[in-house]
Amino acid sequence: MTILETFIKATSDLRDHYSKMTSSEMEMRIKEIKDHLKDKLFLPAHHYQKDEVVQFADVTGDSLQLAKISAENNKADYIVFCGVHFMAETADMLSKQNQTVILPDLKAGCSMADMADIHQTERAWKELTKIFGDTMLPLTYVNSTAAIKAFCGKNGGATVTSSNAKSMVRWAFQQKERLLFLPDQHLGRNTAFDLGINLQDMAVWDPIQNTLIYEGSDLEKVKVILWKGHCSVHEKFTVEQIQEFRKNHSDYQIIVHPECTHEVVRASDYNGSTHYIIETIKNASSGTKWAVGTEMNLVNRLATHYTDKEIVSLNPNLCPCLTMNRIDLAHLLWSLENIMEGIPQNIITVDEETKKYALMALNRMM
């Protein structure tokens, strides 16, 4: 059987087996396994996970929190990571040698992370070095492969998250004159702009066309080179939605994730990481009204949780992250049962060479 055939068979076996169980049967079995494994099992979940998964999480958090918490855990033999592939890779690199990191569904990737591969990055670096010489530092959003993180580590750079992007960009400018920011052009642009860098002094690297997009006339002025990548969920929020929303709801405050476009971030009242969004709404006075521009599982959870406030999505057609949503009760239970049977599946491991350099980038951030 080819790898693809094996994968397809495993997926349909999984579907057949768990489609015969009700949600409450699956929930009961997950609970039993959790009670049995106790602290040999650790289950972190990102804020964008479905409620059916979050109810079993030992901890929920944004990507920075989950990276730190995974690094601190030294009791669990198994870390079943409810999030997307790059987060599980990071957990593997930060966890101890004897810990096994599992991603319940290997199809839970991140479309943004897939927009920068290592070959494109190496090619870009070569071309950009011809233009700018040894003046650049690479910074990568944690939403990237371990190979890209290793590339940054090797070249003196670091990782950033949406929680610490500003301080990391400040740090980068203490090291070098300009920076290459991968793979999210929007987080890069929003962060650099907040630090006082003019939009005219930012260029965009197109990894498909292999060209630098720059509208100015003096390349010497370029301070930030943004990778042409984006989040397909957050790009769905638009300025038109904000204008329309404000017309009918002038008493609402608008808060968005900085993966939204620069225009959307400027048109909103607040922007920040998932953690920042949660804290801002949690600490807001009762009776305040919020339109939120981020993934729908989080927006719905905020609305259910903080009933003393009015919380709606900025996009009436709500934006799910399809890959985050791949983790469900069936995949979680399947992962846990495999552990119980002593045949853990979907183990995420980063090879030693990549890990060595990627850890340099992660540790400069941590």
Q: Residue from 62, 89, 92, 328 that binds ligand 13P (CB under 6 A)?
A: 62
Angle formed at CA 317 by CA 306 and CA 85, multiple of 5 degrees: 80
Distance spanning both ends of the chain, measured CA to CA: 43
When asked if residue 184 is in the footprint of ligand 13P (CB under 6 A), the reply is no
User: In terms of CB distance, is 86 or 214 closer to ligand 13P?
Assistant: 86
Give the Cα separation of 264 and 255 in Å (integer).
10
Element at 170 (helix H, strand E): helix 165-175
Both tokens of 344, joined, read 């853990």
Tell me the number of residues near ligand SF4 by CB under 6 A: 13
Residues 267-306 within binding reach of ligand 13P (CB under 6 A) = 273-274
Strands 211-213 and 202-206: antiparallel
Stretch that binds ligand SF4, among 16-24, 95-103, 318-326, 338-346 (CB under 6 A): 318-326
Q: From the CB of 47, what's the least distance to ligand 13P, in Å?
A: 6
Phi, psi (5° rounding) for residue 212? -95, 125
Q: Which does 111 bind (CB under 5 to 8 A by kind): ligand SF4, ligand 13P, none?
A: ligand SF4
Strands 158-160 and 136-141: parallel
Residues 250-269 within binding reach of ligand 13P (CB under 6 A) = 257, 259
DSSP 8-state secondary structure symbol assigned to residue 366: -
Q: From the CB of 231, what's the least distance to ligand SF4, in Å?
A: 3
Residues 222-241 within binding reach of ligand 13P (CB under 6 A) = 231
When asked if residue 295 is in the footprint of ligand SF4 (CB under 6 A), the reply is yes
When asked if residue 161 is in the footprint of ligand 13P (CB under 6 A), the reply is yes
When asked if residue 182 is in the footprint of ligand SF4 (CB under 6 A), the reply is no
Residues 245-274 within binding reach of ligand SF4 (CB under 6 A) = 259
Q: How far is CA 116 from CA 2, 92, 151, 225, in A?
A: 27, 21, 12, 14
Residues 90-129 within binding reach of ligand SF4 (CB under 6 A) = 110-112
Both tokens of 361, joined, read 């980038």
When asked if residue 358 is in the footprint of ligand SF4 (CB under 6 A), the reply is no
Give the Cα separation of 161 and 292 in Å (integer).
20
DSSP letters spanning 286-343: TT-EEEEES-HHHHHHHHHH-TTSEEEESSTT----TTGGG--HHHHHHHHHHHHTT-
User: In terms of CB distance, is 33 or 165 closer to ligand SF4?
Assistant: 165
When asked if residue 90 is in the footprint of ligand 13P (CB under 6 A), the reply is no
When asked if residue 321 is in the footprint of ligand SF4 (CB under 6 A), the reply is yes
Binding site for ligand 13P (CB under 6 A): 62-63, 143, 161-162, 231, 257, 259, 273-274
- Sites of contact with ligand SF4 (CB under 6 A): 84, 110-112, 143, 231-233, 259, 295, 321, 323-324
